[in-house]
Chain A
Amino acid sequence: MTNIWLGLFSGIAFGFVIQRIGATDAHRMARSHLMLDADIPRFMVLAVALSAVGLFGLQSVGVGRLLPLPTSIVATGLAAVIFGIGWGLTGYCPGTTWAAAGEGRMDAVFALLGGLAGAALFAHLHETLIPILYDPTNAGRITLTDLFGNQAVAVAVLATGFGLCTWGIGKLWRHDNDEKNT
């Protein structure tokens, strides 16, 4: 029961923040993808950099449960392509459809229904597709720590890399909003 309250509370907080940054607005998401608005991508990338550093801190005091997903070169890549087409077309990703539907956006309700259909179809085909697409190129639960041999170094590399991306997005994307911010 505690878990349900924790999940509900976390979801409300998460949904609230992503609505306030505008990630539930498909129009703003399309502008992000068109490199006309830098705020959402750099918000996401910076959040990951901060979370990675924070999680390293939590782990050092023995808090937190980790479960990194495996990397399948073919399946993860192909899945990302399919996902990217859907994301670019609608401006919604799985999490934002819930928040946007809650906000009252009807197109998100349809994205949610389509999502249920997509998940149901994949679940139905799981036994067929996983052995063909996922398993042959499954490299296991590899992380940057495996690559660099040291967790502190890996966290530093990730935080620096994502930090640079945050900066790069700010440079490469157009700056329509800057004058509005002042």
Chain B
Amino acid sequence: MEYRNKQRIPYWNWVPAAFALSGIILFIFATYGPPASSSGFVSLLKGFFEWAAPDYIAAKAHYQFIPGPGSWIFAFVLGMAGGGFIAGRTSRDIPVRDMPPIWVKRFGAGRAKRYAATFFGGFLILFGSRLAGGCTLGLFISGSTQLAISGIYFGVVIFAVAMLTARLIFGKVAEKEDIQ
């Protein structure tokens, strides 16, 4: 542990990072409007169904509010993947792992279990986001920035529930061993 504590932390300091992120958020407000990322999923689906089932898409209300993939909304999430790719390739220190150590300690190293869980979790976060109309970015961050009650309300509840869920699932493991 002593050795580990002396390791150089690979992540950016949170204060300048927050300034950088809010600069990007303001740039988005100025050049487009409120940033959002869960809409990108709907945008991609719309593109798919417009090709596969045009009659279905025309009859569904949820797809009427959101543009297809040839839009800012989809370009943004695609850009996020690109940004993640560039950032991952240019950092030697930040570990890229698809099995979080805390997960392995709790559920073992089986990939099928982890992938099934993230599929299910992904399902929940998008189902929830579409019901609320936005996600961490589209509702909490951009909503609160616009002083919207919905954003603050959503933010408080998602943090509280996620913290409780994490505690129920990983709490014991994290207590037993000091997982870095």
Contact = CB atoms under 8 A, between A and B. Distances in A.
Interface residues of B, number: 129
Q: Sort A-B residue pairs by CB-CB distance and give the 5 closest, nearest first.
A: A11-B79, A15-B83, A84-B161, A88-B165, A114-B122
Contact of B128 (A80, A104, A120): A80
A114 B32 contact: no
B94 A22 contact: yes
Contact of A67 (B33, B40, B63): B33
A84 B18 CA distance: 22
Interface of B: 5-15, 17-22, 24-35, 37-38, 40-42, 44-45, 60-63, 70-88, 91, 94-103, 111, 114-141, 143-154, 157-171, 174, 179-180
A94 B143 contact: no
A111 to B, nearest CB: 3
A164 interface: no
Contacts of A14: 21, 24, 35, 76, 79-80, 83
A4 B147 contact: no
Interface residues of A, number: 129
Contacts of A83: 124-125, 128-129, 132, 135, 154, 158, 161-162
Given A106-B98, A111-B122, A126-B60, A15 B147 contact: no
Given A7-B73, A20-B87, A110 B96 contact: no
Please indicate which of the listed interface residues A4, A10, A26, A86 has the most CB atoms of chain B within 10 Å of its own CB. A86
Contacts of A41: 159
A66 B29 contact: yes
Contacts of B84: 15-16, 18-19, 24, 98-103
B135 A95 contact: yes
A63 B30 contact: yes
Interface string A122-151: 111011011001100001011111010001
Given A7-B79, A27-B101, 15 more contacts: A3-B32, A25-B94, A30-B100, A30-B103, A51-B22, A51-B145, A52-B145, A83-B125, A83-B158, A83-B161, A98-B78, A99-B87, A120-B45, A123-B42, A144-B147
